[in-house]
Each structure stands twice: as structure tokens, then as C-alpha cells.
Structure 1
Amino acid sequence: MSERLAARWNVLSRCIAAVLGGYALATALPAAIVAIMASGMGGMARSDAVLLAMSLSFVVYTGAVMWAFAARSARAAWLGLGLPALWAGLVAWMLL
């Protein structure tokens, strides 16, 4: 594979990681925040926890897109988005 084609695949992989991984993280993290804040640990009303988490999801998605292109490699971008999304999804699933 030529260097030019490899560079294009790298950019494409990062774009897909930014869109899909960012979406997964921006969905799972607010769910985990709601689960933590609305349970006994946060002491917050469920409606307030949802508003807080959904407001933060825009910041999370923006940060995820920036991370996808700032990471040293496409693999690091995928891992940096996938592992936190998996962790947040597990926390939300266990607490909800």
C-alpha cells in the first residue's frame, strides 16, 4: 500500500472514530452521569440530572472529535474513545 493511500485510510479511520466513537461516548457518558446523580450517590432530582448530563454531552462530543484527530494514531483514537464509552455504558447499565 502506498504512503498516500495509507494516509487516506488513516484520516478515514479517524473520521469514523470521531463520528461513531464520539456518538457512543456522548451517549454512554450522560447515561452514566444520570445513573450516578439520580441514584443515592448524587442526591439530585432525576430531571435535573438528565438536564445536566445532556448539556455536558455536547462538550463530550466536541472533545471526542478533537481527540480523534489529536491522538498519535488511529488505533489510539479508537481506544481512547471506545474504552471510556464501554466503561460509561457498563456503569449506566449496572446502575439503571
Structure 2
Amino acid sequence: MAGTARARAGWRYRVNVTARAVAGTIGAYAVAALFAAAMARLLPMPRVEAIMPATLLAFLVGPAVTLWAFLARGPWRAWAGVVLLAALFAAIGWAAGAPT
């Protein structure tokens, strides 16, 4: 009985870490890309020139999202934070208007 409980706990731990790792890699990439797109549209300079500072700032957002994924209380909260940030940056980019 104790072996089964230990095996079940090991399985849950692996799923927990896998969910956080996927949120911290793929989710962080998506959030950073959406952040860069939104910032490139919002920065008060020509959009061609705004791409560089927006991308450099996105290099700070990606690791921050990865840290959040592993510091959240659970994998559901990690994914909720990633999805909410992605939706927020997508909405900001969409509201900023089409590129000119």
C-alpha cells in the first residue's frame, strides 16, 4: 500500500513539474512575443525603430514569466498567470492598432 501511494505521489510530482516547465518555456515565449509586439506599437517612435527596445524589454519578461511559473502555488495558478498575461498583452497590442 505504501509503495502505491509513493508511486502515485511521484506521478503527481512529475506532472506538476512538467506543467510548470511547459508554462515556463512555451508560455514564457508566447508572453514575451506578445509583449514585444505590444510595446513596439506603443513606444513613441517610428515602429521600425521601436522594435529593438521592445525586443530587449521582452528579454526581461520571458525569464520573469518562467520564474512565476515555478514560484506559483500550483500548476493551475502558473498557467492562469501565463494565460492572463498573454491575453493582456494581446489585447494591448490589438488596441494599439494595426502597424503602419
Tell me the TM-score normalised to structure 1 length: 0.86
Indicate the RMSD between aligned Cα atoms, in angstroms: 1.4
Give the Cα–Cα distance (whole angstroms) in 1 for the partners of residues 63 and 92 of structure 2. 22
The one-letter code matched in structure 1 to 2:29 is Y
Give the Cα–Cα distance (whole angstroms) in 2 for the partners of residues 59 and 36 of structure 1. 17
Q: Which residue of 2 aligns with 1:3?
A: 9
Structure 2 gap ranges (5+): 1-6
The one-letter code matched in structure 1 to 2:23 is A
Identity of aligned residues (%): 32
Q: Which residue of 2 aligns with 1:40?
A: none
The one-letter code matched in structure 2 to 1:7 is Y
Secondary structure of the equivalent of 1:2? helix
Give the Cα–Cα distance (whole angstroms) in 2 for the partners of residues 12 and 58 of structure 1. 23
The one-letter code matched in structure 1 to 2:74 is S
Question: 1 or 2 for the larger relative contact order (CA 8 Å, sep ≥6)?
Answer: 1
Q: Which residue of 1 aligns with 2:26?
A: 20
Secondary structure of the equivalent of 1:44? coil
> Shift in Å at residue 35 of structure 1?
1.3
- Deviations 1:9-64, CA, capped at 9 Å, x for gaps: 00000011111110110000111111111xxxxx3222332111100111111111
Larger Rg: 2
Give the Cα–Cα distance (whole angstroms) in 2 for the partners of residues 55 and 22 of structure 1. 15
Structure 1 gap ranges (5+): 38-42
Tell me the TM-score normalised to structure 2 length: 0.83
Q: Which residue of 1 aligns with 2:37?
A: 31
